[in-house]
Amino acid sequence: MNYLAPSLLAADFGQLKEAIANIEEAGAQFVHIDVMDGSFVPSISFGMPVIRSLRPYTKMIFDVHLMIEDPERYIDEFARCGADYIVVHAEACKHLDRTIAHIKDCKVKAGVALNPATSLDVLTYVLPQLDMVLLMSVNPGFGGQKYIPYVTQKVMELKKQIEERQLDVHIQVDGGINLNNVDEVLAAGANVIVAGTAVFSGDINQNVKAFLAKM
């Protein structure tokens, strides 16, 4: 099954509650929440208090993407805030296996994100432990960037590995995805699509429905 995960990074920060209501009403299943620390990536976004305050207003899946250094320091608190998935960057974890186990111990689904140029090899031993792999299709830190074409091949390679190993792992792709290229990403094997600017620019309800029609 395919899922749409609108990214709150592209929403109006003064109307996040309304933005969540809009995408949920239109049929989105996930909401993608980018947490940035100004260190692992240049920008600073939002953190635990915002997630905690939004959680009571929706039953959508909270997909929390930690673009932060040493994310294991905050796993417990993000779990308590209501995250359904906690996704950490392989590049930011000193002990990736331990961090994944920590997420699982909190009864939350675990994901690992890879920057565009990071090899899939880092997943070899931990892939069976994961619920989702997030492949970044832009260099993380800012919204509105263009999709990096070689990520399509990377999605195909990951999909092949998952099938060969008979695993049940979502493939999420984030960055520069719009209605013109989402077909390519889905065909490559992704099944969770993150879209920010393409959802929150213009008519949110109409944009969500247009994505879902392709999925």
CATH number of the structural domain spanning residue 124: 3.20.20.70
* pLDDT confidence of residue 143: 67
Instruction: Verify whether residue 70 is a known catalytic residue.
Output: no
* pLDDT confidence of residue 22: 97
The one-character DSSP state at 140 is T
pLDDT in tens, 148-206: 999 999 999 999 999 999 999 999 999 999 999 999 999 999 999 999 999 999 999 99
How far is 121 from 91, CA to CA, in rounded Å?
A: 12
Is there a contact between 113 and 65 (Cβ–Cβ < 8 Å)?
A: yes
Q: Which of 12, 34, 63, 105 is catalytic?
A: 34
Is there a contact between 161 and 140 (Cβ–Cβ < 8 Å)?
A: no
* pLDDT confidence of residue 190: 98
Give me the domain span that covers residue 63: 5-9+11-213
Spans in the chain with pLDDT lower than 70: 142-143
CB atoms within 10 A of CB 143: 17
Q: In total, how many domains does the chain have?
A: 1
Q: Which of 97, 131, 174, 203 is catalytic?
A: 174
Task: Name the pTM for this structure.
Answer: 0.96
Instruction: Verify whether residue 174 is a known catalytic residue.
Output: yes
